Every structure is written in C-alpha cells, then in structure tokens.
Amino acid sequence: MPEEPYWNPLVPELTVDRIETSLRFYTTAGFSVRFQRDEPPFAYLELGQAQLMLEQQHERGWNVTPLDRPLGRGVNFQIGVVDADAVRSALLASGVTIFREVKDTWYSAASNLKKGQREFLVQDPDGYLIRFAQHLGSRDTPY
C-alpha cells in the first residue's frame, strides 16, 4: 500500500494576479507542483514540508475587499530550505530582486538558548514577502 502524502495542517492560500508568473517564481525557488487545476486557476505547491496554495484572482474568489498591491501587507511567510544561498542564487539568476540580503540571525528561543538561521527576503510577483530560512542549529547563551 503506498504511503499517504504529507498534508500540512496549516497551508496558506495566496490570491495571485497571474498563476503562471507566480508558478515560475515558486518553482525557481525550489517548489514543486503537487497538483494543479484550470478552473479557477489553482496550484498546490510544496518544498520539503512547506506547502502553499496559489489561486488566480477571479470573481467567485474568497476576498472580502478589493485587493490593492502589494498583496499580503503585514505578513511574511517563512519557508525552511536546506540551502538559502542556492535558493537566492536561483532567484537572482531569474531576475528576482532581493528585498533583504542574506544574513545569519540568532533568535532567542528560551532563556538560555538561541536558534540560528541564514535568511533572506524577497517579494513574489504579487508582492507577498517571502523569507527563505536555512536552519543553523542552536547555541547556549550565558543567561
């Protein structure tokens, strides 16, 4: 019996202007298309255990007010990757502008523990802010 595919319990669905443009961006960043449909234009994407849905804007969509660009204001989506530098290079080669350059950051995770990640931020074609993050491990802090 084949193993059931992994389904993340929280999967954001992003409304996009042109699904093909968005698919080009996300597949360049390493995502694969799990499935796709044409009416309405929709794709379910995954990269490792990160999952994301894209739906092209249409009149029956679930938007509660008209959408103004850039979309997704006030949120950024962190996506864990194995090699942040490789993802950055692939996006740069396809003409994507980096919003915030690669930086190693150590975040407090407990009173005496920091978790590190190499991260950078880009905006997808619709303006959603995407943070690609590579896990660097943990380290103790004196306090």
Over residues 84-131, the pLDDT tens digits come to: 999 999 999 999 999 999 999 999 888 889 999 999 999 999 999 999
Over residues 39-76, the pLDDT tens digits come to: 999 999 999 999 999 999 877 777 667 778 888 888 99
Q: What is the CA radius of gyration of the chain?
A: 17
The CA angle 38-42-43, to the nearest 5 degrees, is: 115
- CA-CA distance, 21 to 23, in Å (whole number)? 5
In CATH, which of 3.10.180.10, 3.40.250.10, 3.20.20.480, 3.40.50.720 is domain 13-58+76-140? 3.10.180.10
- CA-CA distance, 29 to 91, in Å (whole number)? 6
- The answer to pTM > 0.75 is yes
